[in-house]
Structure 1
Amino acid sequence: MTTTIRNMRAIGAADDPLLLRLRLEQALSAADLHVPGMPPAAILCVRRLPDPLPGRLDLNALMPQRAWEQAMRAALERMAQCAARPALGPPPPNTPAVWFEDRAELLACLARDWCTGTLAARWWWRTLLHDRGAHAGDLNDRLYAAWRATRAAIPAALALLHDRGAGAHFLALLPLAEVRALSRHVATTFGLPVLERTHDVIPAHQRREVPPTTAAALAMLDHAADVRVLDPERRALYAAGVLLARAPMLARAAWPVAIERWANTESPGRTVGHPPLPEAPDTLPLPHAAKPPRPYSAEPVPEQMQGVASDAATDPVAHAAPALATQLDSDTTPAALPEIASPAPPVAAVAPNAAVTRLLAPRDADQRLAEPLQTRFGGMLLLINLALHLDLYSDFTRPLHAGIGLSPWALLALLGPHLLPAAAPDDPLWALLADLAGAAPEVGFIPPRIWRVPRAWLEPFGVPACYQIAHRSGWLQLAHPTGFAVLEQRRPLSRRRSESIGPPVRRFAGSRRGINRIVHQLQAARALPFAAPPDTLAGWIERLACYAQARLALALGGADEVARTLALPARIYASDVRLDVMFSLNELPIAVRLAGLDRNPGWVPAAGRDIRFHFE
């Protein structure tokens, strides 16, 4: 938690005010002023805080006295305990302090007060927006800048406004230029495609159907009364924001559909039946003046889009088909990345399942705030770094890099039973992972038909003395001596085994002699005992878990160290935009630090969270 002092008044004799200011800044920057008991992502805004120990802050010392630090932290803790939370309702004007769970909650409350015309009356906004009695128009600009400043929090803030029924009203009042800027920021931050020209129509051959769960979620949003008043650009941002906050994997399939619906509704040369939505006023909107915009209407929706956009409100269902995956080179990309799939016939209309209904159900602010979660298996979250290292997902440095279509949280939950077979199923970590994964976390994932470990994954193991080869139930399997499958594919055996087996194993065996040596080792009994074939999600997870176990054992120094690391207890703070994991530094194995598993992953687009590890 970062402490920022907006204004400070110092009373005393000083010949050089600038020197006094510099010394105060140095002394306070060295002080530990974190607020005990506050979540790491929380924002506490205090109106006025007097010096708890006047005269005890030595400006000539390198560090403040411990007694002064403790007194200041105690004063901040008292302010935090009496602070009002605007998300639960408008605080009284004279409240001494307010706090927000994270940046997304701050943006949502900021938007709510802006829409109701009370922004200028809240003292904390003048502090948080760095405003010194500016005009209403300046406050508008500061609101726009605040929303653009924290791109990762935009979807979560829109989802919070959706919970309050205020999302459409806020977007309707935003200038169209700001809506487009927010859409671009969301797209680049979450690794989604950006449509360069806002009125381009997506060619028919580039349009992709989406799975039924995604289509049902979009239909539910589209049939909400407040969303119908929005024009296509605002509706696209609204849908993407809510889905990105609640289920990032669903949103990745929904984003092209939202753009396509908007492009087909308002194309070049087409006129709209109603006047454009109102822009943000020059002055802050007053409660009685903030009228909802007129409903948006346009030409009839094309027939191919009616299954998504024009069903009856009582039957928000869409016809859809599995999304096409991108074809990838298995030599340069992980085996986890799905291969291209042939188009499937349309899926029959289905009613939204319970997961989708729960996904879009409003959430109360007091329900979202929970005490820190205590888990006995916090080390499982360190595997996010392993997934990033294996290139299964991208981090903040490469948000547009394509990864697998499986939620990282679902990946951890699925790996858990394999890596921690004795883990208690009632540990709160598993429920947290399920909640973070959201609805349909595997919606965009198609297991590859061939399990093949990339060369980069094998390099840490060096050149093995030999591989183990087996053929069972029509599957050819090449296994590494450490116990994980290197290659597995359907391959019939001919009488000349070297001809049928040689091509798949050539890149692992090298020479003809190596191929012959592997062929002679062919025995059904040597096959690794996987329960499911590799072209299923369960089978793919089994093989990835075997590799992860071997790779972690190599990095940490053995299977016992792997079990010890994954079973590290932790305290977890989960908000809409951040996940903070607190470990005990005394219990952290040194091998974890040497392996690099303890580094902060930071922003992970597929996870929709800024992930940070702390060691106390």
Structure 2
Amino acid sequence: MHEQAARGRTVIQRLRLRGAELEPLSARLRLEAVLAGADLLPPGLPPSATVCIRRLMDPKPGVLPVSQQALRPPAAWNEALSSVLREQVARAARPARGVVPAGAEAVLFADPSELLACLASDVSRGLANAHWWWRGLFPNADLARTVVTEWLRAPEYVPSALEFLTRQREVRSVVSLFTVPEARELLTRVLRVHGLSATALDAPARDANDEQPMAAVEPEGPVGAGGAPHATTAPWESWAPEVRTLKDSREHAALLGVALTLRRVPVEARRPEFLPAVGTWRNMEESLSVPSPVAPRAARHEASTEALAVSAPPSLHAESAPDVTAFTAPVEEPAARPPRETAPFEEHVAVPVLIRAEASTASESVGERSHIDGVSRPIEVAPSAESPLSREASPASATEDVSRSPVHTTTPPTPLRELEPPSGRAWGLPFSTRLGGLFYLVNLGLFLELYGDFSMPAHPNLPLSLWDFVTLVGRRLCVDPRPTDPVWKVLALLARRKPGVLPGQDFTPPEAWRIPPAWLRTFRDTQWTWSVVEGRLRVHHAAGFLVLDVPCDGHDVEALMNSELAPYSSVSSFTLSRGDETGPLDTEPLERWLGWLVPFCRARLCRALGVSPDDASALDATLLAHDARLHVTEGHVDVVLFLAQLPLAVRIAGLDRDIGWLPSEGRHLTFHFE
């Protein structure tokens, strides 16, 4: 299924052709050829969605040219098919939202994480074999084994799938589908795809100052049965308290705890002390209080006859997510999920049509091919122009001391705090925005190597949500930020900010600014000026941004300046003169950091786009003020823009480059153009 339902592909698993005086082989070859030229993607299907259609009748019988050779169907037949597909998608049931009507002819999954979660849920409840769509997606397969195979194959979707199952209170029965070795392997793959190393689980846990191994901390409170103390507090306790229900296997609990932490507070999961603490907790040799519910593999097809004692998660706070009710309807969280109704098992099943909208994955390649009932055709991808915002490292930056870069900041760990699980919300409904170009700033963050993409998942990331980076920089670049535009609430939801929490509120900026030398490769032969203001040495670039801003109290200014500017001599030719800058300077750390970063971003974007740095309106119109539709699911952000509004300068600069998997955010970001 993973190979079938990929990248804008329609799969017809069985096709019946009836007619008189038709030679079977010739008719099949002609039909394959004509369908290969048809547009079989349903209009209005969300870009990352998968829809399964049980039966689809010929919308105009007798019109397809099966008795003669043709490269594409008639236009009238194509229009009729599009109309039928649109109706099927509009009526499609959503298994993720509860009971599927017995007569449903189509089901829809918003993205692959939703599909994987629903498959695991149905298998754990013994209902999967009675649902026609699973038998169509995975014909002749052991569905219990398929859950393990598909989850291991797509580990980037596991945290969001486990988040969904946790909200549905089914996670305990689902994780029991995995043996202990499988749970360990799945955790390893989840960590790898998020740019983290599983070897850190075997390192000794250390305190925040990295001075000595952390001692096990026993929580205060009652002891367990027989006077035995409770297990050491898990590292994820403050962010994923639901893991307490998995008292039977530390491997399964570690998988769930790490996955939910990556999903809810990814910055915390990336702290150097988190994974060693997980490894220490996982490897403890304490006896567990509850026997394992993991059933033998052969018995996992049947629904459990014993009710699982899963405690309810903490009640959701009324303000657990920004209010976007004007744009999408919240989903009521059921107290107990009712069994899904299904049509009776039929002896002869019409195998469904599987349609997957275009969406990139971490493992896709450019040479992927589209299949329609045996017909293959390549997906042609035009070579992209070389971007002026090149990410190739310069020889000087290869040996640069990372401590000099504003990217590699040392942020002290935040105190543990109780976080409510995010509320269930109807992701996937489109949002309309006038500022769709804000998402081009994600490519800016990648080009500047503030964040890593799928090609370098282990790259150190700025300890600031990528969506907050877009918010903070975008608001300062917009001439008219349009405060009521839905895009700001979408970015807040993606960053998991609650109402009243400002972007970057938990980010601790560095005390000094040293611009990475590689950023200056395109700024050569310029005049720099220096000044000392309020005890700080500040060096200004002629393009309007700061190269240095470091404390100089108690230092010889000339010696300090020579030392600090030495790394830049190999990447930029400059002359230095005394400036006349006067205060006051920003004292609020975040505003001071943005005062360093945003002027460089503006200068770099203007140079890449061929826009005058003095014309803020031109930059806004060229890059940011673009109409777009946003489709946001648990695993994907799809930005649908209009090709007529795409300036050539944006394409040449590479800012519309398809991004795909973002390890730091646990989502795929894809641009689409209509």
- TM class by shorter chain equals 0.7 to 0.9
The equivalent residue for 1:531 is 586
> Take 2:62 and 2:585, find their aligned partners in 1: how far apart are those partners?
70
TM superposition shift of 1:370: 5.5
Matched, 1:154 2:158: yes
CA 330–207 in structure 1, closer or farther in 2 if over 3 Å, else same: farther
Say which is worse superposed, 113-122 or 223-232, in terms of deviation: 223-232
Counterpart of 1:505 (choices 565, 577, 587) is 565
Find the aligned partners of 2:10 and 2:642 in 1 and give their Cα distance. 23
Q: Deviations over 1:174-211 (max 9, x none)?
A: 22232122212211111122138x777657767679xx
| Residue pair 1:582, 1:614 contacting (<8 A) in 2 also | yes
- Which one of the candidate residues 262, 286, 302 is aligned to 1:244? 262
C-alpha contact 2:453 2:663 (8 A) present in aligned 1: yes
Letter in 2 for 1:400: A
Alignment of 1:449-598 (within 5 A): 449-464=511-526, 466-492=527-553, 497-508=557-568, 518=576, 520-525=577-582, 531-532=586-587, 536-558=589-611, 559=615, 560-564=617-621, 565-598=623-656
Q: How does 1:177-256 map to 2 (within 5 A)?
A: 177-195=181-199, 202=205, 218-220=236-238, 223-224=241-242, 227-253=245-271
Aligned counterparts, 1:131-530, within 5 A: 131-132=139-140, 134=141, 138-195=142-199, 202=205, 218-220=236-238, 223-224=241-242, 227-253=245-271, 257=274, 260-261=277-278, 263-264=280-281, 266-267=283-284, 272=288, 275-292=291-308, 331=401, 335-340=405-410, 352=418, 356-357=419-420, 360-363=421-424, 367-369=425-427, 371-439=429-497, 446-464=508-526, 466-492=527-553, 497-508=557-568, 518=576, 520-525=577-582
Q: Does 1:45 align with 2:52?
A: yes
Structure 1 position 244, deviation (Å): 2.5
Separation of aligned partners in 2, 1:334 and 1:600: 31
Secondary structure at the residue paired with 2:199? coil
Residue in structure 1 matched with residue 104 of structure 2 by the alignment: 95
* C-alpha distance in 1 between matches for 2:619 and 2:296: 56
Equivalent position SS for 2:532:
strand
Q: Please show how residues 58-97 of structure 1 align to structure 2 within 5 Å.
A: 58=65, 60-97=69-106
Distance apart, 1:498 and its partner CA: 2.9
8 Å contact kept, 1:395–1:604:
yes
Unaligned ranges ≥5, structure 2: 1-7, 216-232, 316-397
Deviation (angstroms), 1:553: 0.3
1:112 to 94, 101, 121: 121
> Deviation at 1:274?
5.3
Residue range with higher mean Cα deviation, 415-424 or 596-605: 415-424
Asked if the contact 1:390–1:457 (Cα under 8 Å) also holds between the matched residues in 2, the reply is: yes
Between the aligned residues of both structures, percent identity stands at: 31
Q: 1:240 and 1:93, CA in 2 relative to 1: closer, same or farther beyond 3 A?
A: same
- TM (norm. structure 1) is 0.80
Q: CA deviation at 1:444?
A: 8.3
Q: Is the 8 A contact 1:33 1:73 kept in 2?
A: yes
Contact 2:660 2:668 (8 Å CA) reproduced? yes
Letter in 1 for 2:57: P
Is the contact between residue 530 and residue 537 of structure 2 (CA under 8 Å) also seen in structure 1? yes
**Distance in 2 of aligned mates of 1:415 and 1:455:** 21
SS at match of 2:669: strand
- Equivalent residue pairs, number: 550
Residues in 2 aligned to 1:208 and 1:385: alpha-carbon distance in whole angstroms: 39
Q: CA deviation at 1:548?
A: 0.6
Q: How far, CA to CA, are the matches of 1:506 and 1:522 in structure 2? A: 20
Q: 1: distance between equivalents of 2:530 and 2:292?
A: 67
**CA deviations over 1:127-186 (Å, ceiling 9, x no partner):** 122x13x5xxx2211222222232221111100001111112211342223212221221
Q: Which amino acid in 2 is paired with 1:229? A: K
Pairwise CA distance, 1:2? 3.1
Amino acid at match of 2:633: S
Q: Is the 8 A contact 2:166 2:242 kept in 1?
A: no
CA contact (8 A) 1:338 1:445 kept: no
By relative contact order (CA 8 Å, sep 6+), the higher-ranking structure is 2
CA shift at 1:446, angstroms?
A: 4.3
Structure 2 distance, partners of 1:32, 1:505, is 59
- Are the aligned partners of 1:373 and 1:572 in contact in 2 as well (CA < 8 Å)? yes
Residue identity in the other structure for 2:94: R
Contact kept, 8 Å, 1:46 with 1:79, in 2: the verdict is: yes
Is the CA contact (8 Å cut-off) linking 1:471 and 1:477 kept in structure 2? yes
CA–CA separation in structure 2 for the residues paired with 1:58 and 1:16: 14
**Quick one: which amino acid aligns to residue 75 of structure 1?**
V
Q: Once the 2 structures are TM-superposed, how far is the Cα of residue 386 of structure 1 from its aligned partner?
A: 0.9
- Aligned partners of 1:119, 1:449: CA distance in 2, in Å? 56
> SS where residue 483 of structure 1 aligns?
coil
Q: Secondary structure at the match of 1:467?
A: strand
Is the alpha carbon distance of 1:614 and 1:226 closer, same or farther for their aligned partners in structure 2, counting shifts above 3 Å? same
Is the 8 Å Cα contact of residues 120 and 174 (structure 2) preserved in structure 1? yes
SS at match of 1:45: strand
For 1:334 and 1:396, the matched residues in 2 are separated by 25
Instruction: Answer with 270-279 or 73-82: which moved more.
Output: 270-279
Kindly state the Cα deviation for residue 436 of structure 1 after the two structures are TM-superposed. 0.4
Q: Partner of 2:42 in structure 1? A: 35
Partner SS for 2:299: coil
Q: Which residue of 1 aligns with 2:321?
A: none
**How far does residue 602 in structure 1 lie from its aligned partner after superposition?**
0.8
Match of 2:270, SS state, is helix
| Residues 286/585 of structure 1: CA separation in 2 closer, same or farther (3 Å cut) | same
8 Å contact kept, 1:572–1:581 = yes
Deviates more, 1:280-289 or 1:481-490: 280-289
Give the letter aligned to residue 569 of structure 1: D
**Compared CA separation, residues 524 and 542, structure 1 to 2 (3 A):** closer
Deviations 1:195-250 (A, max 9, x none): 38x777657767679xxxxx999325664486243422211211222232334323
Which residue in 2 is equivalent to 1:608?
A: 666
**Structure 1, 546-555 or 453-462: larger mean CA deviation:** 453-462
Q: 1:599 is matched by which residue type in structure 2? A: R
Tell me the amino acid that sits aligned with residue 63 of structure 1.
R
Structure 1, residues 98-131: CA drift from partner, whole Å, max 9, x if none? 11111111111111111111111001001122x1
Tell me how far apart the structure 1 counterparts of residues 435 and 182 of structure 2 sit (CA, whole Å): 43
Q: CA deviation at 1:401?
A: 1.8
Distance 1:384 1:333, change over 3 A: farther
**Residues 250, 29 of structure 1: CA spacing in aligned structure 2 closer, same or farther, 3 A cutoff?**
farther
Distance, in Å, in 2 between the alignment partners of 1:459 and 1:262 is 42
Q: Which amino acid aligns with 2:408?
A: P
Q: Distance in 1 between matches of 2:650 and 2:95?
A: 41
Q: Which has the higher helix share?
A: 1
Equivalent AA in structure 1 for residue 606 of structure 2: A
CA-atom RMSD, angstroms? Answer: 3.4
